[in-house]
A and B are shown apart, each in its own frame.
Chain A
């Protein structure tokens, strides 16, 4: 089975995606012989982006999904990025079943690079308004860390991946080390000015994104050049214009000579040795041959993506941990959460008719959370951030038939009015009743129990949607927008692709599963640094925080290693 005949490593990383890639970079740079196990195939930067150079007219379905694919895979077909140009990077429902006790759209990418290939590349930092949330508002448990613990790691990650942004000086969204912004459209600037006039705390900023807009020595060393604003990032970028693990952290780790990258390796469980009182390795099933192998290491990083990380731990049963590795308090798999993406609003704008935009940009504008920030002020806990977009397009004249239609189309030269829109990104409250668990008897093709998913929106989420509609309608009116329309998409949790938690961090082993360094309280040589570690959900896109936590935890592991050799 294995590419590698070596079964002993200093560290094993389970999962070859965004955070697994970051763990690999940090561990390998520091000299640890590391094995990265990825359940899917390898995806090599550039070489394995088959559609990246294709023009829109070269797709035979013009980017549609075939009917049979959609019918057999209703969940993944609801994902905005699952189209003809990138469908090969997404898991099909039919190939990897799970059990929806409550509707949950589980969006997955099983390959080296994981979902970092197709992610939306939004990278807003968290602040202490987020880390102090659970303690202040009395839900979940207190985070064991604060912003100051993560600050330098945010910078560390930003400097390596490249983040385009402005220094905005907004309390809720700390500034970082940014490359120059692509900029906002005139109507976005107009909205920003109007919000400044109308409210003291409602900011509209350029949304920070993981794209290269300036040259730096570190990017040159990575072989990446400037983003060309093609806006087809989900296909993989031949320029390395945005951050994915394939173009950046994984090749960086491979270059050290310390990384063994092994695809097609489905991790069944982590092996716990009672005599040594630590995890000693992992049990792996080959994705195709189904052959079982074991690999051993002193340190294990679990980065399988939130819900699969929960699954691996729940399935790692031993006499000491009959309910899953590190699960001494029964909390494993519980207190999962997500982002409430149900509320959308859009409108027209009759002003600024003499102006338009040109070119493209891989981001939009962003309204950081303004509800319940400094004190509790509504009948719901926490709040929401939102996207904000304003643009206009050429109005294609489709009137008539025959030569008249041809002439009308070719003669299109008038621009339509500006359209504006926002999507809510609401913080959800993790609860014991939102959980994942293993099925007692049903197994997948690799003999691994199927995962039950129980996540629902609650009253707090419903109140937040109502407030978002009220507040944004008022804000849009103040900006002079017209024909305002709102929609509750009623979409299930999961489609936000921000599922988090289940292996939460905390100060007390009785009420949490991980400590402040992302180690299992009960088995500290296992680190969990993907979305599963999150104690609360905040409003910001979480990937940047996952990466910063991973870099911090990996360096903690390295320090211990250098001191004690384990």
Chain B
């Protein structure tokens, strides 16, 4: 199959051409100059994301930690106003946990953490920043998960180079 071989060779060339250091994720990046969270906020965000969408047993592996993805996108792609709103919302969540449970979110047991999600999910009543924080963190976390290789290939049945289109196949 000469054609297949040719395509394979081209695919190799393309893979070689694809490496652009500037576009790849910097795995050890810690400073997000526009977001600048303190240690407590970082810990809260990390455990909140982890509790929101646990991925350990899911098979989904992401190129970077979800908090790094969220902070990178916030830092680089969100307006200063939205970043501020996100930070205020995060602080409000911190305060809510302290007021309600006299404890940080990450130290709560599973049922209390679930109650915090219950509070965030109920319709209405949340301040604008808290709502913004929750919606943003949630949608970016889900995006990060559903954009990962395992999810796209196995759940979405996505192929990078399908090479065909079938307009009408049975579901």
Please indicate the chain B residues that have their CB under 8 angstroms from the CB of A415 in the complex: 171
Stretch at the interface among A9-17, A64-72, A135-143: A64-72
One digit per residue, 1 when the CB lies within 8 angstroms of any chain A CB and 0 when it does not, for chain B 25-69 equals 110000000000000000000000001111100111011100001
Which residues 375-421 of A sit at the B interface, judged by CB distance below 8 A? 394, 396, 398, 401-403, 405-406, 409-410, 412, 415
Stretch at the interface among A221-229, A320-328, A558-566: A221-229
- Residue in A closest to B18 when the chains form the complex, CB atoms: A53
| Residue from B72, B142, B159 in contact with A398 in the complex, judged by beta carbons closer than 8 Å | B142
Contact flag A354-B58 (CB < 8 Å), given A58-B24, A182-B165: no
Contact flag A355-B168 (CB < 8 Å), given A52-B18, A59-B23, A62-B143: yes
Please indicate the chain B residues that have their CB under 8 angstroms from the CB of A358 in the complex: 157, 162, 164-166, 169
Contact A61 B169 (CB under 8 A): no
Contact flag A357-B166 (CB < 8 Å), given A47-B17, A66-B76, A228-B161: yes
Please indicate the chain B residues that have their CB under 8 angstroms from the CB of A65 in the complex: 77
**How far apart are the CA atoms of A49 and B156 in the complex, in Å?**
27
Which residues 182-224 of A sit at the B interface, judged by CB distance below 8 A? 182-186, 188-189, 215
Stretch at the interface among B3-11, B86-94, B123-131: B3-11
Please indicate the chain B residues that have their CB under 8 angstroms from the CB of A60 in the complex: 23-26, 64, 69, 72
Contact flag A403-B54 (CB < 8 Å), given A54-B23, A230-B160, A410-B155: yes
Which residues 130-171 of B sit at the A interface, judged by CB distance below 8 A? 142-149, 151-152, 155-157, 159-171
Contact A56 B163 (CB under 8 A): no
Tell me if A46 counts as interface (CB < 8 A to partner B).
yes
Report the minimal beta-carbon distance from B73 to chain A, rounded to whole angstroms: 6
Report the minimal beta-carbon distance from B67 to chain A, rounded to whole angstroms: 14
Contact B73 A183 (CB under 8 A): no
| Residue from B52, B165, B170 in contact with A360 in the complex, judged by beta carbons closer than 8 Å | B165
Report the minimal beta-carbon distance from A254 to chain B, rounded to whole angstroms: 19
One digit per residue, 1 when the CB lies within 8 angstroms of any chain B CB and 0 when it does not, for chain A 212-252 equals 00010000000001111110000000110000000000000
| Residue from A66, A186, A409 in contact with B146 in the complex, judged by beta carbons closer than 8 Å | A409
Contact A226 B62 (CB under 8 A): no
Report the minimal beta-carbon distance from B30 to chain A, rounded to whole angstroms: 15
Tell me if A359 counts as interface (CB < 8 A to partner B).
yes
**How far apart are the CA atoms of A83 and B55 in the complex, in Å?**
28
**How far apart are the CA atoms of A93 and B52 in the complex, in Å?**
40
Tell me if B15 counts as interface (CB < 8 A to partner A).
yes
Contact A228 B163 (CB under 8 A): yes
Tell me if B101 counts as interface (CB < 8 A to partner A).
no
Contact flag A57-B76 (CB < 8 Å), given A226-B163, A354-B170: no
**How far apart are the CA atoms of A59 and B6 in the complex, in Å?**
27
Chain A interface, DSSP helix/strand/loop, else mixed: loop
**How far apart are the CA atoms of A59 and B71 in the complex, in Å?**
14
Contact B77 A66 (CB under 8 A): yes
Contact B162 A359 (CB under 8 A): yes
| Residue from A51, A57, A225 in contact with B10 in the complex, judged by beta carbons closer than 8 Å | A225
**Size category of the binding interface on chain B:** 35 or more
Please indicate the chain B residues that have their CB under 8 angstroms from the CB of A405 in the complex: 52-53, 142
Tell me if A283 counts as interface (CB < 8 A to partner B).
no
Report the minimal beta-carbon distance from A410 to chain B, rounded to whole angstroms: 6
Report the minimal beta-carbon distance from B156 to chain A, rounded to whole angstroms: 6
Tell me if A452 counts as interface (CB < 8 A to partner B).
no
Please indicate the chain B residues that have their CB under 8 angstroms from the CB of A359 in the complex: 159, 162-166
Contact A53 B147 (CB under 8 A): no
Report the minimal beta-carbon distance from A416 to chain B, rounded to whole angstroms: 11
Report the minimal beta-carbon distance from A251 to chain B, rounded to whole angstroms: 15
Contact B165 A50 (CB under 8 A): no
Tell me if A361 counts as interface (CB < 8 A to partner B).
yes
Tell me if B20 counts as interface (CB < 8 A to partner A).
yes
**How far apart are the CA atoms of A38 and B162 in the complex, in Å?**
35
**Size category of the binding interface on chain A:** 35 or more
**How far apart are the CA atoms of A51 and B24 in the complex, in Å?**
10
Tell me if B98 counts as interface (CB < 8 A to partner A).
no
Please indicate the chain A residues that have their CB under 8 angstroms from the CB of B24 in the complex: 58, 60
Please indicate the chain B residues that have their CB under 8 angstroms from the CB of A238 in the complex: 10-11, 13-14, 17
Please indicate the chain A residues that have their CB under 8 angstroms from the CB of B11 in the complex: 53, 238
Please indicate the chain A residues that have their CB under 8 angstroms from the CB of B18 in the complex: 50-54
Please indicate the chain B residues that have their CB under 8 angstroms from the CB of A185 in the complex: 167-168
Please indicate the chain A residues that have their CB under 8 angstroms from the CB of B60 in the complex: 410
Please indicate the chain A residues that have their CB under 8 angstroms from the CB of B162 in the complex: 228-230, 358-360
**How far apart are the CA atoms of A397 and B72 in the complex, in Å?**
26
Tell me if A55 counts as interface (CB < 8 A to partner B).
yes
| Residue from A188, A229, A401 in contact with B52 in the complex, judged by beta carbons closer than 8 Å | A401
Tell me if B114 counts as interface (CB < 8 A to partner A).
yes
Contact B72 A406 (CB under 8 A): no
Contact B171 A51 (CB under 8 A): no
| Residue from A229, A239, A352, A355 in contact with B165 in the complex, judged by beta carbons closer than 8 Å | A229
Contact A229 B163 (CB under 8 A): yes
Tell me if B121 counts as interface (CB < 8 A to partner A).
yes
Tell me if A478 counts as interface (CB < 8 A to partner B).
no
Please indicate the chain A residues that have their CB under 8 angstroms from the CB of B121 in the complex: 401
Contact A409 B151 (CB under 8 A): yes
Tell me if A353 counts as interface (CB < 8 A to partner B).
yes
Tell me if A41 counts as interface (CB < 8 A to partner B).
no
Report the minimal beta-carbon distance from B35 to chain A, rounded to whole angstroms: 12
**How far apart are the CA atoms of A415 and B114 in the complex, in Å?**
30
**How far apart are the CA atoms of A65 and B73 in the complex, in Å?**
10
Tell me if A356 counts as interface (CB < 8 A to partner B).
yes
Report the minimal beta-carbon distance from A430 to chain B, rounded to whole angstroms: 38
Contact B54 A52 (CB under 8 A): no
Report the minimal beta-carbon distance from A210 to chain B, rounded to whole angstroms: 16
Contact A46 B55 (CB under 8 A): no
14 further A-B pairs in the complex, CB-CB below 8 A; given A64-B76, A359-B165, A415-B171: A46-B14, A57-B148, A58-B63, A62-B147, A182-B164, A229-B162, A230-B162, A355-B171, A357-B169, A358-B165, A394-B155, A405-B52, A406-B145, A410-B155
A selection of 9 A-B contacts at a CB cut-off of 8 Å is A57-B149, A57-B152, A65-B77, A67-B77, A238-B11, A401-B51, A402-B52, A409-B142, A410-B59
Interfacial residues, chain B to chain A (CB-CB below 8 A): 3, 6-7, 10-11, 13-18, 20, 23-26, 51-55, 58-60, 62-64, 69, 72-73, 76-79, 114, 117, 121, 142-149, 151-152, 155-157, 159-171
